[in-house]
């Protein structure tokens, strides 16, 4: 019994130490919304030349759903848990999957066309909050990368 207790204690302490070493831990929508409340403000583009990369205001959106925007082109205004499927004209299915982290959010959109199966695809958006008021944003298809600094 004593050895069992020691083994359980060792495994618990090892797993606690390992989880403390991880940089990015999973989060949920409620924890994420608490994180972004103090991120509001004006941001200046530090890196990036795409039209998405422009000086912008980071603001929270409460209606009709909770979310945020960074300018007009980076829009996470429809935050949800897990995967959400919508019916949009000219598409059979559009799904949106959100993953929340303690330092950001990743959204993967998959779309399937009814009339042209060759025009199916997906895009991934990754927005991360760094130290010193820095926000990084990347988008796949097209490849876009921006770095914003809080003013």
The total of other beta-carbon atoms located within 10 Å of residue 43's CB is 23
Cα–Cα distance, 99 to 108 (Å, whole number): 9
Q: Can you give the pLDDT of all 151 residues of the chain as single tens digits? A: 555 444 444 444 544 444 444 445 557 888 888 888 889 999 999 999 899 999 999 999 887 678 899 999 999 988 888 888 887 777 777 899 999 998 999 999 998 877 777 778 899 999 999 989 999 999 998 899 999 999 9
Q: What pLDDT score was predicted for residue 78?
A: 84
Q: What pLDDT score was predicted for residue 64?
A: 65
Percentage above 90 pLDDT, the chain: 48
Domain boundaries, the chain: 24-81+99-107+122-150
The total of other beta-carbon atoms located within 10 Å of residue 101's CB is 19
Q: What pLDDT score was predicted for residue 129?
A: 96
């Amino acid at each position: 019994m004593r050895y069992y207790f020691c083994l359980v204690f060792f495994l618990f302490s090892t797993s606690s130490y390992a989880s403390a070493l991880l940089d990015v831990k999973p989060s949920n929508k409620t924890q994420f919304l608490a994180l972004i409340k103090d991120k509001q403000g004006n941001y200046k583009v530090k890196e990036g030349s795409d039209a998405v990369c422009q000086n912008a205001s980071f603001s929270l959106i409460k209606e009709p759903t909770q979310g945020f925007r960074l300018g007009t082109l980076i829009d996470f205004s429809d935050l949800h848990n897990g995967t959400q499927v919508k019916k949009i004209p000219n598409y059979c299915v559009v799904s949106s999957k959100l993953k929340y982290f303690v330092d950001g959010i990743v959204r993967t959109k998959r779309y399937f066309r009814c009339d042209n199966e060759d025009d199916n695809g997906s895009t991934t958006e990754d927005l991360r909050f760094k130290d010193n008021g820095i926000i990084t944003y990347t988008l796949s298809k097209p490849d876009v990368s921006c770095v914003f600094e809080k003013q």
